[in-house]
């Protein structure tokens, strides 16, 4: 039986042609058809002890939702997903499945794992376009009020979970649109913003209040929220403080942080200028510094904004690049060049303060450092120049102190991240939980969601039983 099933190849997601998509902002993978989804769902062996579920940070009932798809009941599949995950359309798109659910799939041992991410995305998309507009059911009201600070992936997860358990939830967001990194960071071509809006609308239908344009720490503090009658608070404000490299010329016009570059493009829709008012520089020769997913998003965005050439400059080698393989592959298909073992040392500009180029050093890899990665070392005398008119610095981000400095009894580590219990998300402050990038430093969407899930369970316990 199992042997026979393995003979069906894993489905291949249809995609926009690289030569076309590198100049538009439409989503790259086009999604599965119903037939493709059913065929792929039938590859699942329906394991009694499914390893895939263990690989999922929010423990989605994977074989069960896949069974629904195999049976052609797509609506039931979506409902099964909702039981554990309020944001399946997002997760199906941005999770690194190869390291999580799909990495554990038994079919992956001999052949290719079931395309769990594609199927999750399929079920969620199907429900959004063909569904009844139903939302996950919520329990009877408990009368408890929870403030969720930040509407990124972890905050939305906490909100969804606590709503299901019957609590009143208000989400506070500093920007004018909810979604956090899902709306300002991850580009339209990877995660269409209508999907984020739809998932947020689901939470609103479940009863969530969303207060945008509210900067906790500036507009109102955590303590003031408690004084307003909130019973508990979750802090999921992310790691929104860009790191620069502190190199000469870094303040030249044309040097952007990835946060600014992506916020202007995605949240403010600078790519639609002048229909939208926010301008974004359209570089001809673009260099992106860094090699994580944010760097790939920036490079692919620059290509879509009409660049002649886009180079990713990284001080280590291909093997150490932190971006997902799929993202690297997509970037390469879109003619992004990789300049590896290369480190910038300064930027040059003209008399108007506009960037004209940069100087780099070639690197070689030495002994492994504390992180286990081989340490890049400069090769003396290897200086060379790259002409460029736009540089995006995507070398990571730190914790933003806006909230924490106005909440003095919140314990922080030396980097300014909030210290919270790794299992429950409890902080040093009574009735306050924290999770996601503000705790871990910049990490992934699904890890933030996993932290949200754990915190929501702990908060529910507190709200019903006490600390």
Partner 1 sequence: MAKIVHREELAQGTIILNEIEAPRISRKAKPGQFVILQADETGERIPLTMADTDPEKGTITIIYMVVGKSTARFRDLKVGEEYYALIGPLGAPTHIEKIGKVVCVGGGTGIAVLHPIARALKDAGNEVTAILGSRTYDLLILEEQMRNASHTLHICTDDGSMGHHGFVTDVLKETIEKEDIALVVAIGPIPMMKFCSLITKEKGIKTMVSLNPIMVDGTGMCGGCRVSVGGNTKFACVDGPEFDGHQVDFDELAKRLASYTEVEKQSVDAYNKCKCNAN
- Based on the shown chain and the rule CB under 8 A, indicate whether residue 220 belongs to the binding site for partner 1: yes
User: Is 8 or 212 the residue whose CB approaches partner 1 more closely?
Assistant: 212
What is the nearest approach in angstroms of partner 1 to the Cβ of residue 280? 9
CA angle 263, 269, 275 (to 5 degrees): 150
Using CB under 8 A as the binding criterion, the count of chain residues that bind partner 1 stands at 39
Q: Which residues on neighbouring strands pair with residue 321, listed in sequence order?
A: none
Part of the chain binding partner 1 (CB under 8 A), chosen from 140-148, 267-275, 322-330, 418-426? 267-275
Q: Considering only residues 157, 170, 202, 263, which one is a binding residue for partner 1 as defined by CB under 8 A?
A: 263
User: Is 112 or 193 the residue whose CB approaches partner 1 more closely?
Assistant: 193
Part of the chain binding partner 1 (CB under 8 A), chosen from 112-120, 130-138, 213-221, 379-387? 213-221
Q: How far is CA 303 from the centre of its chain?
A: 21
- Strands 209-211 and 232-235 turn out to be unpaired
CA atoms of 343 and 282, how far apart (whole Å): 24
Of the candidates 170, 397, 179, 162, the residue with the CA atom closest to the CA atom of residue 290: 397
User: Is 172 or 314 the residue whose CB approaches partner 1 more closely?
Assistant: 172
Map the footprint of partner 1 across residues 338-377, applying CB under 8 A: 352-353
User: Is 69 or 391 the residue whose CB approaches partner 1 more closely?
Assistant: 391
Residue 191 CB coordination number (10 Å): 23
User: Is 306 or 401 the residue whose CB approaches partner 1 more closely?
Assistant: 401
What is the nearest approach in angstroms of partner 1 to the Cβ of residue 62? 35
- Based on the shown chain and the rule CB under 8 A, indicate whether residue 382 belongs to the binding site for partner 1: no
The burial class, CB within 10 Å (0-12 / 13-18 / 19+), for 17 is exposed
Of the candidates 154, 94, 84, 59, the residue with the CA atom closest to the CA atom of residue 418: 154
User: Is 121 or 264 the residue whose CB approaches partner 1 more closely?
Assistant: 264
The encoded tokens of residue 249 equal 């010329």
CA atoms of 449 and 315, how far apart (whole Å): 31
What is the nearest approach in angstroms of partner 1 to the Cβ of residue 220? 6
- Based on the shown chain and the rule CB under 8 A, indicate whether residue 251 belongs to the binding site for partner 1: yes
The burial class, CB within 10 Å (0-12 / 13-18 / 19+), for 187 is buried
- Based on the shown chain and the rule CB under 8 A, indicate whether residue 176 belongs to the binding site for partner 1: yes
What is the nearest approach in angstroms of partner 1 to the Cβ of residue 249? 11
With contact defined as beta carbons under 8 Å apart, do 121 and 78 qualify?
no
What is the nearest approach in angstroms of partner 1 to the Cβ of residue 426? 26
User: Is 163 or 252 the residue whose CB approaches partner 1 more closely?
Assistant: 252
In Å, what is the CA distance from 172 to each residue of 149, 233, 433? 5, 11, 15
- Based on the shown chain and the rule CB under 8 A, indicate whether residue 259 belongs to the binding site for partner 1: yes
N-term to C-term CA, the chain: 51
Part of the chain binding partner 1 (CB under 8 A), chosen from 30-38, 100-108, 208-216, 412-420? 208-216
- Based on the shown chain and the rule CB under 8 A, indicate whether residue 253 belongs to the binding site for partner 1: yes
Inter-axis angle of helices 193-205 and 153-164, to 10 degrees?
30
With contact defined as beta carbons under 8 Å apart, do 313 and 386 qualify?
yes
Part of the chain binding partner 1 (CB under 8 A), chosen from 30-38, 46-54, 128-136, 170-178? 170-178
Q: Considering only residues 187, 240, 436, 450, which one is a binding residue for partner 1 as defined by CB under 8 A?
A: 240
CA atoms of 284 and 371, how far apart (whole Å): 36
Part of the chain binding partner 1 (CB under 8 A), chosen from 35-43, 78-86, 251-259, 452-460? 251-259
| Contact positions vs partner 1 (CB under 8 A) | 174-176, 212-215, 218-220, 240-242, 244, 246, 250-251, 253, 256-257, 259-260, 263-264, 268-269, 273-279, 281, 352-353, 400-402
């Amino acid at each position: 039986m199992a042997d026979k099933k393995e003979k069906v190849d894993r489905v291949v997601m249809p995609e926009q042609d690289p030569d076309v998509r590198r100049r538009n902002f439409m989503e790259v993978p086009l999604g599965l058809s119903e037939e493709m989804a059913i065929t792929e769902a039938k590859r699942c062996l329906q394991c009694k002890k499914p390893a895939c579920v263990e690989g999922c940070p929010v423990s989605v009932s994977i074989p069960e939702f896949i069974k629904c798809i195999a049976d052609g009941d797509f609506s039931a599949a979506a409902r099964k997903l909702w039981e554990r995950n309020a944001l399946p359309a997002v997760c199906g798109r941005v999770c690194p499945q190869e390291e999580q659910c799909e990495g554990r799939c038994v079919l992956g041992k001999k052949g290719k794992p079931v395309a769990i991410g594609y199927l999750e995305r399929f079920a969620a998309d199907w429900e959004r376009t063909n569904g009844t507009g139903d939302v996950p059911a919520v329990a009877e009201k408990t009368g408890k009020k929870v403030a969720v600070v930040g509407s990124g992936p972890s905050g939305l997860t906490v909100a969804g979970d606590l709503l299901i358990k019957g609590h009143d939830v208000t989400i506070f967001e500093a920007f004018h649109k909810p979604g956090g990194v899902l709306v300002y960071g991850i580009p339209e071509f990877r995660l269409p913003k209508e999907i984020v809006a739809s998932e947020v609308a689901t939470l609103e239908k479940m009863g969530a209040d969303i207060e945008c344009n509210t900067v906790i720490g500036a507009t109102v503090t955590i303590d003031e929220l408690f004084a307003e009658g909130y019973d508990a608070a979750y802090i999921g404000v992310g790691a929104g403080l860009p790191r620069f490299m502190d190199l000469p010329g870094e303040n030249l016009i044309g040097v952007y942080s990835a946060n600014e570059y992506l916020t202007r493009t995605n949240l403010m829709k600078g790519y639609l200028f002048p229909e939208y008012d926010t301008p974004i520089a359209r570089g001809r020769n673009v260099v992106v510094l860094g090699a994580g997913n944010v760097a790939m998003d920036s490079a692919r965005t620059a290509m879509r904004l009409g660049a002649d050439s886009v180079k990713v400059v990284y001080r280590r080698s291909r093997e150490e690049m932190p971006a997902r393989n799929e993202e690297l592959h997509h970037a390469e298909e879109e003619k992004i060049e990789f300049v590896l073992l290369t480190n910038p040392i300064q930027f040059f500009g003209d008399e108007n303060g506009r960037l004209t180029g940069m100087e780099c050093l070639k690197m070689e890899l030495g002994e492994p450092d504390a992180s286990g990665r081989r340490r890049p070392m400069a090769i003396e005398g290897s200086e060379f120049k790259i002409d460029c008119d736009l540089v995006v610095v995507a070398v990571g981000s730190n914790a933003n102190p806006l909230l924490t400095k106005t909440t003095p009894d919140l314990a922080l580590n030396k980097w300014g991240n909030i210290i919270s219990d790794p299992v429950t998300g409890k902080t040093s402050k009574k009735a306050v939980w924290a999770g996601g990038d503000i705790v871990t430093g910049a990490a992934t969407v699904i890890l933030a969601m996993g932290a949200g899930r754990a915190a929501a369970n702990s908060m529910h316990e507190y709200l019903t039983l006490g600390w």
